[in-house]
Structure 1
Amino acid sequence: MEIKTYFRYIIILASGFLMLASCKKNSVGLDYINKPVVEAFLVPGQPLSVKVYTQKDLADTAVYGAALTGLNLSVSDGSKSVQLTESASGVYTNADLAFITSGKSYTLQFTYDNVVVSASTTMPGKPVGFKLTDSVFYVPVTIDPAYATKVLATATWTNPDSLNYVLLFKNTDSDPFNIITVRSNNKPSFQVNTEGAAIYNMTQSSFNYYGHYQVILLRVNDEYINLLKSNSRGSSQNLTNPPTNVNNGLGIFTAMQSDTLALRVTLKQ
Structure 2
Amino acid sequence: MKNIYIILLLGTIQSILWACTETNDVINPGDKPVIEAYLAPNHPVSLKAYTEIPYSESSEGVSQVIDGLSIKIIGSNGKTFVLKSVGNGAYESAANELIGVAGTTYSLEFDYKGRKVTATTEIPAKPVNFASDKKEISRTQIDLSAGFQGGVRPPGGGFNEQNTSVNLTWSNPNNYYHFIAVENVETDPVQILIPPTGRTFPNFRFFNEPLTGSSNEVRSQSFQYFGKHNIILYRVNPEYAALYQSSGTTSQNLSTPPTSIINGLGIFTGINADTIKFVVNKN
**Normalized against structure 1, the TM-score is what?**
0.80
1:80 CA drift (Å): 2.1
1:1-27 alpha-carbon deviations (Å, 9 max, x no partner): xx34233233xxx25321231236599
Residue 58 of structure 2 corresponds to residue 44 of structure 1: no
**Hey, what's the Cα distance between the residues in 1 that align with 2:272 and 2:230?**
15
Does the Cα contact within 8 Å between 1:169 and 1:214 map onto a contact in 2?
Answer: yes
CA separation of 1:59 and 1:208: change in aligned 2, threshold 3 A: farther
Describe the shift of the 1:60–1:33 C-alpha distance in structure 2 as closer, same or farther (beyond 3 A). Answer: closer
Structure 1 residues 236, 168: CA separation in 2 closer, same or farther (over 3 Å shift)?
A: farther
Shift of 1:83: 4.7
Match of 2:4 in 1: 6
**Alignment map for 1:172-187 (pairs within 5 Å):** 172-173=185-186, 174-179=188-193, 187=203
Measure, in 2, the Cα distance between the counterparts of 1:106 and 1:32. 28
- 2:51 corresponds to which residue? 54
Q: 1:74 aligns with which of 52, 72, 75?
A: 72
Q: Let me know the Cα RMSD of the aligned residues.
A: 3.1
Cα distance, 1:224 vs structure 2: 1.2
User: Which is helix-richer, 1 or 2?
Assistant: 1
Alignment deviations for residues 149-187 of structure 1 (CA, whole Å, 9 cap, x no partner): xx63311111111211111011234344244969x7583
User: Offset of 1:215 from its aligned partner?
Assistant: 0.4
Match of 2:11 among 16, 20, 29: 16
Flag the 1:134–1:4 CA change in 2: closer, same or farther, 3 A. closer
Kindly, what percent of the aligned residue pairs are identical? 27
Distance in 2 between the 1:26 and 1:164 partners? 29
Q: CA deviation at 1:200?
A: 1.2
Instruction: Check 1:133–1:73 CA distance in 2 against 1; reply closer, same or farther (3 A cut).
Output: same
In the alignment, what sits opposite 2:144? none
Q: Give the letter for the 1:246 counterpart.
A: I
Which range moved further: 103-112 or 82-91? 82-91
Q: CA contact under 8 A between 1:49 and 1:92: conserved in structure 2? A: yes
Following superposition, the deviation at residue 225 of structure 1 comes to 1.2
1:112 corresponding residue in structure 2? 112
Q: Which residue in 1 is equivalent to 2:173?
A: 160
Higher Cα Rg, which structure: 2
Check 1:114–1:103 CA distance in 2 against 1; reply closer, same or farther (3 A cut). same
In the TM superposition, residue 239 of structure 1 has moved relative to its aligned partner by: 4.1
Q: Distance in 2 between matches of 1:225 and 1:73?
A: 25
Q: Please report how far the alpha carbon of residue 133 of structure 1 lies from its aligned counterpart in structure 2 after TM superposition.
A: 1.0
Task: Say if 2:225 is the partner of 1:213.
Answer: no
Deviation, structure 1 residue 115: 1.0
Aligned CA distance change for structure 1 residues 53 and 199 (closer, same or farther; 3 Å): same
For 1:94-141, what per-residue CA distance to the aligned partner results, in whole angstroms no more than 9, with x for missing partners?
325354322111111111111111111111001111111121124585
Which deviates further from its counterpart, 108-117 or 239-248?
A: 239-248
- Worse-superposed segment, 19-28 or 190-199: 19-28
| Gap change, CA 1:137 and 1:234, over 3 Å in 2 | farther
**Are the counterparts in 2 of residues 44 and 97 from structure 1 also a CA contact under 8 Å?**
no
Give the equivalent residue in structure 2 for 1:91: 90
Q: Cα distance 1:202–1:18, how it changes in 2: closer, same or farther (>3 A)?
A: closer
| Residues 230 and 186 of structure 1, relative CA distance in 2, 3 Å threshold | farther
Aligned to 2:126: 126
Count of aligned pairs: 254
Question: Which consecutive residues of structure 2, in runs of 5 or more, have no partner in the other structure?
Answer: 141-157
CA deviations on 1:34-68 (whole Å, 9 max, x unpaired) are 1011111101111123222212476456xx52324
- Tell me which residue corresponds to 2:152: none
* Structure 1 contact 179–210 (Cα < 8 Å) conserved: no
SS of the residue aligned with 2:128? coil
Give the TM-score, by structure 2 length. 0.76
Cα deviation 1:201-247 (Å, max 9, x = unaligned): 2345443444432101111111111122222x234665432221111
Distance 2:97 2:192 in 1: 39
Match of 1:192 in 2: 208
Q: Distance in 1 between matches of 2:61 and 2:210?
A: 33
Match in the other structure for 2:32: 35
